[in-house]
Structure 1
C-alpha cells in the first residue's frame, strides 16, 4: 500500500521536494503480513483467521515476547476491598484485589477502578498499565496527573481502571524472573540453570496482568458488555499491544510512544534498535529475541504485523514529536503497513500514507494515530485524542 503511494509521489514530484518521511522509515522493505511462511497469499478474512493470524501469533511468542505458561488461572479470586464516591460524586471508586493461583503459589495485585454515575452504562472502559510512579494511581483523585486523568475520562462518560506493572513483575533485570507472576508459574530453577529461549519476559507478564484485570472487568455488572481499551505508555504500550494481540476481549489497544518492539518496526533502525533494547532491558522479552540484534532481517516478524493481529478490532498509535528514540515516523509506517489486513474485513486502516503533522489526528479508520508536540510522555492531550477516537467508534457502550 505504502510502496504504491511512494512510487506515485516519485513520478509526480522531484526527489528534492518529497516529504521528509521519504527516508529509511518509509523506504525499508517490511515483511508482507498477507504472505504466509510457506508462500500462500492471504486474500480473505477467513484465510487470515485460519492461516496467517495463528502463524504470526506463534512467531511472536517464539521469537519476541515469549510464551505465557498459562492463560486465565483455574483459581482466580476477586475481592472488592472498598467502594466510595469519587470526584465530587461524579463517580464510584472501587478498589479490587485480584488473586491468581498458579502451580507454585499465588499472587495478588490491586486494581483501582472508577465508574461514572452518569451514564449508568459507560461508553467504554479504559484500562491503563501504569509503569511510572505509583502515586499516579494512589493519588489519582486528590493529586491527578495527565498520565491518568481519571476525572476527565469519567466526565466523558467512560469508566477507567489502572494497575501498576511492578505488581505483576518487577522491572528489574537482576531479578532473574524469580519474583511476581514468574514465581507462581515458572518451574523452580537451581543454580545457573537457564530458562528456555522462548520463556516469557516481563512485557508478556504485564500483558498477562492486563488480561487478569479484564477478567474482573467483565464480571462487573456496570461494565457488562461495554468495550474495553487497554492502554500503556512506552514499555506499557508494548504490553498493551501484546495483550490486545492475544486477548480478543480487547476492543482497542492503545500504544503511546511504545517505540521499539511496540509500534515501531525492528527493521527501521533510526531509533532504539533490537540490540539496544535487549542490551538495556534483557528481561523484557524472550531470550530468543536477543539472537536478532546483529541482523534484524532474520527476524520472521515485525511490528506492523503485531498491529495487524488486532484486526478487525481497533488499534491506536500515539507518537511525540521530540521522541526520536521511539521513532514517530516508524510508528506511523507500521500503521500504514497494517492497513491491508484491515482491508480483508472491508475496514479502512489509518486513512493516510503520509505521516500527519503535529495535532492533526487521523480518526477516520480502524487504526487511529496522532503526533503530539513534545517529549516522551503520556499526557492529558493524548487522552483527549484517544477519547475523541472512541467517541466516533463507540456509541452508548457498544462497539
Structure 2
C-alpha cells in the first residue's frame, strides 16, 4: 500500500483535502544545501542531492524542496493554519483567525449564480477582470486588508503575527486565501452553497502574482488563472534580467524589491544576481501541477516582460508534460497595448475552456494552449538545457 502522502493523480488534477500534501517520509529537504550559480533555468528534475527524478511519487519530494526554497529566498514563510472560525450571513463570510492569544478578522463577499447549488467558485483578488461563466460563484477577497503594499508590516496578517514577521505581502495574501478555504470547509455547502472541491483563484497584475502563489501553496485549489502577473508571477527572474540588460524597459528583481513590500526582505540579497537562486518561476508554476493553470498575459506591455512570461511558461509546461498532464497547463499572450487588466475577447475561449474542465466537470475539453502574438523570438536552448522526462 502506498503512503497517504503520495500525490494522487486524476484527469482533472490534484485530489486533496489538505492545504499542502505532507512531504513523504522518504524525503529530506536539506535547508543547508548550496547550489552552483546557473544562468539557465534550473533543472526541475534534479533534487538538491543531485538525484534525478524517475517517478511521479518523487515529484512530491521536489515540490517540498521548491516550496522551501521559494519561501527561504524570496517570499518568506507561510505560517501554518491557525485556529479559524467563520460565520456566513447576507452574502458575506466573516473569518476569524487566532494565534498566540491574538485574533484578527476579515470578510469576503460571495456572488452566487441562480439555482440551488452547491456551486463551484472563483476566489478573486479584489474582484475579477476575466469572464466568469454562468454557474460559477465569485468570492471577492480583500487581499490588501490582509497585507498592505506599503509600508511593510501593515495589514491584518501582521496584526496577528507581528509587524516584523518576515513574510512578504504575496505569501501573506496566500495565507489569507487558505483561511477563506478553511472557512468554506468549516461552514459547508449548506451555509455557503459553495463546492469547496471546485475552487479557482484569479487576480490581475500584483494580484495575478498573488493568485499564482496562492495556488502554488494550497493544493485545495483546482484551478489558477493569474492575469498579467509579469515579473514575480509567471515571469522568470533570469530571463527578465537579461531582456532588461538588453535595453527593454521591464520590471526586474532589483526594481521590484525596492518598491512595494510583496517579497521578503531577504530577497534583496539575491535580487541583484538571480543566477544564484536554485529555482526560477517555471518551478513556482510547476508547484500547481497536476492541477489546472492558465497564464493570461499581455504581449503588448514591455514592463510585464512578455518574453520572460512566455519562456518561463514553456519551462513549466515541460514539467506538466513530464507528469503526464500537459493538457492541464496553458499560456495565452495577446497584445492589447497599454490596456492593463482589460482582457481582450480573443482570450475568452481559453478562459472558458479551463473553467469548463476544472470547475464545471467537462473532462473532454481541450485545454493545452501555448500561444503568443508577441513580436519576439524565443530560443529555448538559451535558457533550457534539460528535457521533458518520462516519469513512471
For this structure pair, what is the TM-score category when the shorter chain's length is used for normalisation? Answer: 0.7 to 0.9
Worse-superposed segment, 385-394 or 286-295: 385-394
| 1:111 matched to 2:108 | yes
Whole-Å separation in 1 of the counterparts to 2:48 and 2:342: 37
Partner of 1:357: none
Once the two structures are TM-superposed, the CA of residue 127 in structure 1 deviates from its matched residue by 0.6
Whole-Å separation in 1 of the counterparts to 2:220 and 2:293: 13
| 1:162 matched to 2:150 | no
Q: Secondary structure at the match of 1:377?
A: coil
* 1:277-304 Cα distance to aligned partner (Å, 9 max, x none): 00122x2111111111221111121000
Once the two structures are TM-superposed, the CA of residue 126 in structure 1 deviates from its matched residue by 0.8
Q: Secondary structure at the match of 2:222?
A: strand
Match of 1:63 among 52, 58, 73: 73
Residues 148, 112 of structure 1: CA spacing in aligned structure 2 closer, same or farther, 3 A cutoff? farther
Equivalent residues of 1:314, 1:366 under 8 A apart: yes
Once the two structures are TM-superposed, the CA of residue 217 in structure 1 deviates from its matched residue by 2.7
Normalising by structure 2, we get a TM-score of 0.73
| 1:246 matched to 2:225 | no
Equivalent residues of 1:230, 1:252 under 8 A apart: yes
Aligned-residue CA RMSD in angstroms? 2.3
Unpaired runs of at least 5, structure 2: 1-38, 244-249, 365-392
Match of 1:255 among 198, 201, 226: 226
Once the two structures are TM-superposed, the CA of residue 396 in structure 1 deviates from its matched residue by 4.1
Radius of gyration: which is bigger? 1
Once the two structures are TM-superposed, the CA of residue 324 in structure 1 deviates from its matched residue by 1.2
Whole-Å separation in 2 of the counterparts to 1:266 and 1:339: 17
Whole-Å separation in 1 of the counterparts to 2:188 and 2:334: 34
Whole-Å separation in 2 of the counterparts to 1:378 and 1:212: 29
| 1:180 matched to 2:159 | no
Match of 1:391 among 356, 366, 383: 356
Q: Secondary structure at the match of 1:293?
A: helix
Once the two structures are TM-superposed, the CA of residue 182 in structure 1 deviates from its matched residue by 0.9
Equivalent residues of 2:77, 2:167 under 8 A apart: yes
Once the two structures are TM-superposed, the CA of residue 102 in structure 1 deviates from its matched residue by 2.4
Q: Secondary structure at the match of 1:61?
A: helix
Q: Secondary structure at the match of 2:43?
A: coil
| 1:272 matched to 2:243 | no
Q: Secondary structure at the match of 1:312?
A: coil
Whole-Å separation in 2 of the counterparts to 1:99 and 1:394: 27
Once the two structures are TM-superposed, the CA of residue 178 in structure 1 deviates from its matched residue by 4.5
Q: How does 1:144-159 map to 2 (within 5 A)?
A: 147-148=128-129, 153=132, 156-159=134-137
Whole-Å separation in 1 of the counterparts to 2:231 and 2:280: 10
Count of aligned pairs:
311
Once the two structures are TM-superposed, the CA of residue 261 in structure 1 deviates from its matched residue by 1.4
Equivalent residues of 1:202, 1:285 under 8 A apart: yes
Whole-Å separation in 2 of the counterparts to 1:118 and 1:371: 35
